[in-house]
Amino acid sequence: MGGESGEILQRKQAAYTCLDEPFEIGNEKYGGQQYSQIYFARLHVAKTLLYSLIPLWKPELPVCTVLSLEEGKECVIVGTLYKHMKLKPRILDEYSKERSVIPLVKPHNFMDADDYLILEDEGGRVKLDGTVLLPSVYVTGVVVALLGKETTKGDFLVDEVLEAGLAPQIDRPLKLEEDKYVVFVSGLGVGNMTANPLQFQLLVDHITGHLGDEKEQHMAAQIVHVVIAGNSVEIPSEFFNGQNLASKDQSKLSDPIKELDILLTQIAAGLPLDIMPGPNDPTNFALPQQPLHRCLFPSSRVYNTFRSCTNPHCFELDKIKFLGTSGQNIEDMGKYSEAKGELEFMERTMNWRHMAPTTPNTLGCYPFTDRDPFLVESCPHVYFAGNQPKYDTSLLNGPEGQIVRLISIPKFCETGVAVMLNLRNLECHTISFEAEFS
């Protein structure tokens, strides 16, 4: 890189640590286990945590299990929420003989005014009542502590709710003096017929410092890392009809990936790059998605700056902790609960200390037996979700001084927007590209 004056711009660097280990399926062996195991692991860990918080919250009240509830006696219970939703698609509906009168599903999600919550612990389950715990806010799989009492009907009337809250956070290094940027982009959709391939090329050229004047190149030299959060390729759906492909079509199947490889090579030649898989990418579907195979990228894999990562992805740059997904967790919560925007869903997952509570109920995940990798044990400094409808960002402040930068990353192929994050102060802005053929 060099300006017109001949001055050589040195690209800045940041120390990188990959923390993807919990998301690697690697040595897991499937032995016919069911999803009860992951719920057991989740409930046990979250319950232990909540039990430690209850004495600070309601020191005077007894903690009960569902089976030991007594009518009218005020107590605290801890368990996993289950949301009963009559519009939720069920596999058995197809087989039911009578066509029941189920109201039509709304176009955007499966919520209904009659939805209600149930709390389950190791022993039993109880229907929850009251106006404090809103079914529209919660989803199946969240572990909470509830204060209330059993009613004559046998339901549990909830008076107060305790969520796990933000996990403890390691302090952010304060000595960072220089601006260093991380670029987030998702939904590149290489191979998408309607997207303009020039947009991504412009982004690549901008990142690598081949665009703009000296000032812009100065900016580009401060970019230390690129994260691609899922859905990098789009393979035309007509190839997924279960028919064998004609040999002339087989190249069409791999063309998007070849094109992506060429573009990624240009980035990887200049700076470190993490690519995470998303729901459209050629890897396993269930979370945690395993890294895209390196043989898909014959030319970019040569660079040690190229890293194919898991989804969810966790890493550190200059001791700043990043955690994020390609957006499936947030998208799925949008189908079964409501919020003002994606950031609110993200905020909730942080407060529940669980990235993807709807796994395994409505979102596919590997049936882990001894752990739940989506539990958030330590709070990240940056939490991102890819493939969201629009760009948005906010700062989430925790009671113990935790500060989390939330970023919802839009789909690049639709918006031409990538997100830049400054490591020094966690401030965020977008860069957008538009290219028109005249």
Partner 1 sequence: MMKSYYKQKKPNRSDAVGKPSKSIKKKSPAALITSPHGAPHLQEDVEKSEQVLREFDMNMAYGPCIGMTRMARWQRAQRLGLDPPGDVKNLLDSGKTETKSLWDDRV
Closest CA to 343 of 377, 298, 390: 390
Contact between 279 and partner 1 by CB under 8 A: the answer reads no
Q: Which residues touch 273 (CB under 8 Å, ≥6 apart)?
A: 225, 226, 227, 228, 264, 267, 300, 305, 306, 307
Closest to partner 1 by CB, 41 or 162: 41
Cβ–Cβ under 8 Å, residues 83 and 115? yes
Task: Identify the residue among 5, 26, 27, 31 touching partner 1 (CB under 8 A).
Answer: 31
Span interacting with partner 1, options 34-42, 172-180, 240-248, 299-307, rule CB under 8 A: 34-42
Q: Should residue 284 be labelled a site residue for partner 1 when binding is judged by CB under 8 A?
A: no
Shortest Å distance, C-beta 61 to partner 1: 24
Among 13, 17, 34, 68, binds partner 1 (CB under 8 A): 34
From 16, 19, 40, 58, residue interacting with partner 1 (rule: CB under 8 A): 40
Considering the complex, what minimum distance in angstroms separates the CB of residue 84 from partner 1? 23
**28 vs 114 by CB, closer to partner 1:** 28
Choice from 41, 170, 219, 253 touching partner 1 (CB under 8 A): 41
Rounded to whole angstroms, the Cα distance separating 141 from 113 reads 20
Nearest distance from C-beta of residue 48 to partner 1, angstroms = 7
Print the binding letters for residues 357-396 with partner 1: x by CB under 8 A, - otherwise.
----------x-xx--------------------------
Other Cβ atoms closer than 10 A to 87 = 17
Kindly state whether residue 294 participates in binding partner 1, applying the rule CB under 8 A: no
| Cβ-proximal residues to 354 (8 Å cutoff; 6+ apart), any chain | 42, 46, 141, 142, 143, 164, 372, 374, 375, 376
Say if strands 181-185 and 273-276 run parallel, antiparallel, or are unpaired: unpaired
Rounded to whole angstroms, how far apart are CA atoms 211 and 207?
Answer: 8
Residues 46-65 interacting with partner 1 (rule: CB under 8 A): 48
Span 86-125, contacts to partner 1 by CB under 8 A? 122
Task: Kindly state the number of chain residues that form the binding site for partner 1, as judged by CB under 8 A.
Answer: 15
143 binds partner 1 (CB under 8 A): no
What letters, b where the CB count within 10 A reaches 16 and e where it falls short, cover 267-284? bbebbbbbbbbbbbbebe
Cα dist from 170 to 173, 175, 245, 316, 374, whole Å: 9, 15, 52, 12, 19
Nearest to 192 by CA among 231, 245, 235, 250: 235
Per-position DSSP letters for 232-287, written without gaps between them: -B---GGGGSSSPPPHHHHHHHHHHHHHHHHHHHHHHTTS-EEEE--TTSSS-SSB
Q: Which is nearer to partner 1, 98 or 370 (CB)?
A: 370
Q: Does 68 bind partner 1 (CB under 8 A)?
A: no
Q: Give min distance, CB of 123 to partner 1, in A.
A: 8
Which member of 2, 13, 44, 249 binds partner 1 (CB under 8 A)?
Answer: 44
Of 315 and 368, which has the nearer Cβ to partner 1? 368
Angle 214-221/197-208 helices, nearest 10 degrees? 80
With binding defined as CB under 8 A, does residue 36 bind partner 1? yes
Residue number, 40 or 110, with CB nearest to partner 1: 40
Q: Which residues bind partner 1 (CB under 8 A)?
A: 31-34, 36-37, 40-41, 44-45, 48, 122, 367, 369-370
